[in-house]
């Protein structure tokens, strides 16, 4: 797991965070500056795993207009992401032909929560103000200024989010 920030100043956007790619290199989310993002905690063995199809379709359709899906594998919900990064990358490529950026496994809840997900949850709490992520495939919509605009649950299908993504791309 990568450290996210090196200074003590509070984060003001998602661009203030560093993450580890699925290939093991460090990357700052500032690389996605000026893009609309859908940040998703994903898993390979979940009932919602077929959402990879919709996520990939959105990414392919809208990427040329300044949109990216960012996938963060997480094994905190029913141990539904047991593989290592190579296994996850292979599964995503072979099963769903995923081309959107994937990152190293992270925790999204608890004491080991990745700082990016701490920030996302703080900016867009869940139902009744809860901070915890309930399950795999929780999605956070981020505008082109790095501000977290909306949180979607696991049951929200990627295609149902498209109109809100389109509105930010205008």
- Architecture of the CATH domain 14-169: 3-Layer(aba) Sandwich (3.40)
- What residues does each domain of the chain span? 14-169
Q: What is the dihedral of CA 169, 22, 108, 141, to 10 degrees?
A: 0
Q: Is 74 a catalytic residue?
A: no
List pLDDT tens digits, range 33-51: 999 999 999 999 999 899 9
Of 84, 82, 81, 76, the closest CA to residue 23 belongs to 84
Residue 120: pLDDT band with limits 50, 70, 90:
very high
pLDDT at residue 125, as a whole number? 80
Q: Give me the catalytic one of 22, 29, 36, 46.
A: 46
105, pLDDT greater than 60: yes
More confident residue, 139 or 132: 139
Question: pLDDT for 52-94, tens place per residue?
Answer: 999 999 999 999 999 999 999 999 999 999 999 999 999 999 9
C-beta separation of 52 from 153 below 8 A: no
């Amino acid at each position: 797991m990568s450290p996210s920030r090196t200074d003590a100043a509070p984060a003001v956007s998602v661009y203030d965070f560093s993450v580890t790619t699925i290939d093991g290199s460090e990357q700052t989310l500032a690389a996605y500056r000026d893009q609309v993002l859908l940040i998703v905690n994903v898993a390979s063995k979940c009932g919602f795993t077929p959402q990879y199809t919709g996520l990939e379709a959105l990414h392919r359709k809208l990427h040329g207009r300044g949109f990216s899906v960012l996938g963060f594998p997480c094994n905190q919900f029913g141990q539904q992401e047991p593989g290592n990064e190579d296994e996850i990358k292979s599964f995503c490529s072979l099963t769903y032909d995923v081309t959107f950026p994937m990152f190293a496994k992270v925790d999204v809840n608890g004491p080991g929560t990745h700082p990016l997900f701490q920030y996302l949850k703080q900016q867009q709490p869940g139902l009744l103000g809860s901070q915890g992520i309930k399950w795999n495939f929780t999605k956070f919509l981020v505008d082109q200024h790095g501000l977290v605009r909306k949180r979607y649950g696991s049951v929200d299908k990627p295609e149902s989010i498209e109109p809100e993504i389109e509105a930010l791309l205008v």
